[in-house]
Homo-oligomer: A and B are copies of this chain.
Amino acid sequence: VIDPHLDTPVYVQLADILRARIRSGELAPRRMIPSIRTLQQEYAVSDRTVKHATQLLRDEGLVHTVQGRGVFVTAQPPPG
């Protein structure tokens, strides 16, 4: 659950949530994570915030984007 009153920026909180859902196996490798618009509604945040969150995960190598398809969980988690 996202709490706007926390010190942590909303996009970081969202990234943490998605990271947890991936690590828990709920969002499996090679599978698409919910679309930006879905996440946007699900967590009541703007698309900019969702993009910012997915950008973090992409930088971590946890997910990768396929243009016109969606954001997918990377099969091989990055070492470390």
Contact = CB atoms under 8 A, between A and B. Distances in A.
A66 B31 CA distance: 35
A6 interface: yes
Contacts of A68: 9
A7 B74 CA distance: 10
A69 B7 CA distance: 8
Contacts of A66: 7
Contact of A7 (B6, B7, B31, B64): B64
A32 interface: yes
B5 A32 contact: yes
Contact of A5 (B6, B7, B72): B72
A37 interface: no
